[in-house]
Amino acid sequence: MVNIPFKHSLLAATIALSSVAASANTFEIEHLPKLINAGNVTVSNDGNFTVYTVSQPRDILAGDKDGTPDTHLYLIRGDGAASKFITAAGGVSALQFSQDGKTLYFKSKRDDDKNTSLYSISLNGGEAVKQFEFETSIGDYAVSPDNSTLYFVANEKDDAEDLKDKGFKAYAYEEDQRLASLWTVNLQDADAQASKLFSGGHVSDIELSASGETLVAAVAPTNLIDDYYMLRDLHFLNVTSGEVISTLDIPGKLGTFEISPDGDHLAFLAGTDVHDTSTGVLMVSKTNSDSFEQLTKDALQHIVDIDWLGDDILAVAHRGVETALVLYDTDGDEKRTYQTPDDIAVRSADVGDGEIRFIADSPKHPREVFSAKRNRTEKLSSHNAWLEELTLSEQTTFTYTARDGETIEGLLITPNGDAPEGGWPLILTVHGGPEAHYSDGWITRYSDAGQFGAADGYAVFYPNYRGSTGRGVAFAKEHQDDYAGKEFNDLVDGVEALVEAGIVNRDRVGITGGSYGGYASMWGATALTEHFAAAVAFVGISNQVSKFGTSDIPNEMHLVHSLKWPWEDNWMNLIERSPIYHAGKSTTPTLIMHGEEDTRVHPSQSMELYRSMKVRTETPVRLVFYPGEGHGNRNAAAQYDYSLRFMRWMDTYLAPDASRNDPMPVFDLDMGERLKAKDSDE
């Protein structure tokens, strides 16, 4: 038997941080706040400058105030070293260079700003200057080639704010029809007032051509998130009058879109039809046209980002657990694939004058900035070099055959050294969606044990089960009209394959996941209880009928998942595909966690499973709510709290010396004692 230290016991909560983090030189939960992720990479038109943001988590054990990660701006000149460019308080986002490459625009809320505003800073240095503040926060935006005109998306001010201040806070659910419009303002006139350019629906994103002559807007009929997912179309607008020139009727979901440098074409990502679960197909239209071509609808891949490289389209294509930078012409022919290291996962890319910069991560580090040349790839940032001092666990691709012959891929992280007799305990980690996938990069997060799970002696497996993206539209649709069917059989078949390979212990298997992965975890704890010795379910679905009535995406649920409305001879089928229906037979100790402000999967979903298990079984079950959190935890304290609860639950029921008698009381982090211990060590 492998000796797994009981690191996450209640006693361990009072041990000093320094001694915990230093133990065995492995990756621990306390290392999570030190992880820095690069993102939003943007290249100037002349290719001379690259800017990107870094997400810096709050480290509450080091004395940081609780909150969401801070965002900083970094600059790279040519292929030089990255340097911090904007360090003032207030995050930065939505980076855009001016046409001449001398100025960088960005959004921020700083100093006395009431709303998120537009700022600019010279690439020669100096202080950032506020360009414009609207009566509400600015959404997507574009600046004209001569820097004189700002086009931006925003709501009008809510006149009811004064009433809310007086205590009148009631609202009619889904009836706030204040739609975001497209506005314009003269940036060269300090006294200029913004005027509405287009208001024919709810505008979310815009794109302005390099010439300033073509303006494209993504528009939904209402401001409901369901319409954002399923009903957005693309309008070509007159830049002066805002009149609609033509419309692209998008068949399903809509992703990012980019106008070609010459202004002749629009490239965009979308679903192939209204039942396509995601936006992974590359499509192209002529400017001001009402028709388009689906270029990659049959490719066994999922495109996650695009940009124009001259007259061609550079695409970030995810193919299974691997990724590629692929160049397509406007007819859909694959012209070339850039050589990138096998051990990185490319996430996004941007181009300026032929210079390609992209964001990628690997099993050894989170997201960094890279450049791609014709025959080589160079890493331009190193924000996580400290990880090289740790002994990380090995991450490999594990492929197996499901019971009906389908090939399924996944990623496996195992503890260093040989597997013990009987195999390691396993934490099966299920992604949400299910229209998502794991790529072979950095996959350790506060709710995904990865490296800190392996450091504690667990194998951690991330399967791309049926319904996952990355293997083409048909594979992603295989879960439809079959909730908890083939998709979750794939999970059990993966565990069986790992057992047969001698990697994991059949009697010490835990399951976890969030959202749809939370649904899988709840299903594993009930309908498939004989396969799992522990479960941790996060923002999961326990009742498919009440989920329909309480979610903010009922149309998306119908069109790309169930394919039927509940009343279409489907009530009993939905109930039988719900974990609460099977709760009475559960023998799997289950920890349920949920954000109180979740609108995607209502917190009542977790309450229903908790109550069903509590009343119908003697099986240990605990429900933890996170006030102020939604569909996933964003704040540092909530993330740290989650990680500790998660691993302590697994230790209690899966470790070789596990008592399995649920000794843990309601958890008290006792941060005061922990900080006192840390201070005394120092």
- What pLDDT digit, counting tens, does each position of 348-396 carry? 999 999 999 999 999 999 999 999 987 789 999 999 999 999 999 999 9
Of the pLDDT bands very low, low, confident and very high (cuts 50, 70, 90), residue 670 is: low
SS (H, E, C) 90-124: CCEEEEEECCCCCEEEEEECCCCCCCCEEEEEECC
Range from 84-93, 231-240, 410-419, 595-604 carrying the lowest mean pLDDT: 84-93
Distance CA 48, CA 113 (A): 32
Pairing verdict, β 302-309 and 312-319: antiparallel
Q: What is the pLDDT of residue 24?
A: 60
Residue with tokens 């909150």: 67
| Percentage of the chain lying above the pLDDT 70 cut | 93
Q: What is the pLDDT of residue 675?
A: 47
User: What is the rounded (10 degree) CA torsion for 296, 297, 301, 303?
Assistant: 60
Q: What is the pLDDT of residue 20?
A: 38
Amino acid at 490: D
Main-chain phi, psi angles of 615, to 5 degrees: -80, -35
Q: What is the pLDDT of residue 660?
A: 72
Q: Using CB atoms within 10 A of its CB, is residue 650 exposed (0-12), middle (13-18) or buried (19+)?
A: buried
What does the domain layout of the chain look like in residue ranges?
11-30+389-678, 36-133+343-383
Distance CA 659, CA 434 (A): 34
The neighbour count for residue 628, using CB atoms within 10 Å, is: 11
Range from 84-88, 170-174, 469-473, 526-530 carrying the lowest mean pLDDT: 84-88
Residue 155: CA atoms inside 13 Å, Cβ hemisphere, count? 13
Distance CA 650, CA 453 (A): 10
pLDDT at 87 over 90: no
User: What is the rounded (10 degree) CA torsion for 275, 276, 278, 284?
Assistant: -120
Of the pLDDT bands very low, low, confident and very high (cuts 50, 70, 90), residue 79 is: confident
CB 487 within 8 A of CB 499: no
CB 428 within 8 A of CB 461: yes
CB 538 within 8 A of CB 643: no
Strand order in the sheet with 265-270: 254-259, 265-270, 281-286, 293-294
pLDDT at 6 over 50: no
SS (H, E, C) 365-405: EEEEEEEECCCCEEECCCCCHHHHHCCCCEEEEEEEECCCC
Amino acid at 314: L
Average pLDDT of span 28-38: 96
Helix, strand, coil percent values for the chain (each to nearest 5): 20, 35, 45
Pairing verdict, β 141-143 and 149-154: antiparallel
Distance CA 446, CA 527 (A): 27
CB 561 within 8 A of CB 485: no
Distance CA 565, CA 160 (A): 36
523's enclosing H/E stretch is: helix 516-525
Q: What is the pLDDT of residue 360?
A: 98
Look at residues 539, 338, 493 and name the one whose alpha carbon lies nearest to residue 401. 493
Average pLDDT of span 104-125: 93
CB 478 within 8 A of CB 470: no
Range from 11-20, 63-72, 384-393, 499-508 carrying the lowest mean pLDDT: 11-20
pLDDT at 172 over 50: yes
Pairing verdict, β 195-198 and 181-186: antiparallel
pTM here is: 0.93
Domain 11-30+389-678 identical in fold to domain 36-133+343-383: no
Q: What is the pLDDT of residue 673?
A: 54
Which residues, other chains included, contact 454 with Cβ-Cβ below 8 Å and sequence gap of 6+? 393, 413, 414, 415, 416, 460
CATH superfamily of 11-30+389-678: Alpha/Beta hydrolase fold, catalytic domain (3.40.50.1820)
Write out the two tokens for 612: 């069903």
User: What is the rounded (10 degree) CA torsion for 584, 531, 26, 677?
Assistant: 20
Residue with tokens 């006395």: 112
Q: What is the pLDDT of residue 78?
A: 87
Give strand pairing partners of 268. 257, 283
Range from 66-80, 158-172, 315-329 carrying the lowest mean pLDDT: 158-172
Q: What is the pLDDT of residue 12?
A: 39
Pairing verdict, β 424-430 and 504-514: parallel
pLDDT at 103 over 80: yes
Under CATH, to which class is 36-133+343-383 assigned? Answer: mainly beta
- Apex 531 CA angle, 526 and 536, nearest 5: 60
pLDDT at 678 over 80: no
The neighbour count for residue 62, using CB atoms within 10 Å, is: 12
| Percentage of the chain lying above the pLDDT 90 cut | 85
Of the pLDDT bands very low, low, confident and very high (cuts 50, 70, 90), residue 5 is: very low
What are the tens digits of pLDDT across the range 127-159? 899 999 999 999 999 999 999 999 999 999 887
The neighbour count for residue 414, using CB atoms within 10 Å, is: 23
Of the pLDDT bands very low, low, confident and very high (cuts 50, 70, 90), residue 10 is: very low
Residue with tokens 């298997």: 509
pLDDT at 661 over 80: no
Distance CA 370, CA 287 (A): 32
Q: What is the pLDDT of residue 669?
A: 52
Mean predicted lDDT score pLDDT of the chain: 92
Distance CA 339, CA 375 (A): 6
Amino acid at 653: Y
Q: Using CB atoms within 10 A of its CB, is residue 105 exposed (0-12), middle (13-18) or buried (19+)?
A: buried
Q: What is the pLDDT of residue 664?
A: 55
Residue with tokens 């350019």: 197
Whole-angstrom Cα Rg for the chain: 25
Range from 230-234, 341-345, 433-437, 583-587 carrying the lowest mean pLDDT: 341-345
pLDDT at 198 over 90: yes
Q: Is the peptide bond before 251 cis (omega within 30 degrees of 0)?
A: no
- Apex 397 CA angle, 392 and 401, nearest 5: 145
Distance CA 426, CA 500 (A): 13
What are the tens digits of pLDDT across the range 502-537? 999 999 999 999 999 999 999 999 999 999 999 999
Main-chain phi, psi angles of 676, to 5 degrees: -60, -45
Distance CA 561, CA 549 (A): 15
Average pLDDT of span 185-201: 95
Write out the two tokens for 168: 């009148």
Dihedral sign (CA 280, 282, 286, 289): negative
Q: What is the pLDDT of residue 21?
A: 38
Of the pLDDT bands very low, low, confident and very high (cuts 50, 70, 90), residue 409 is: very high
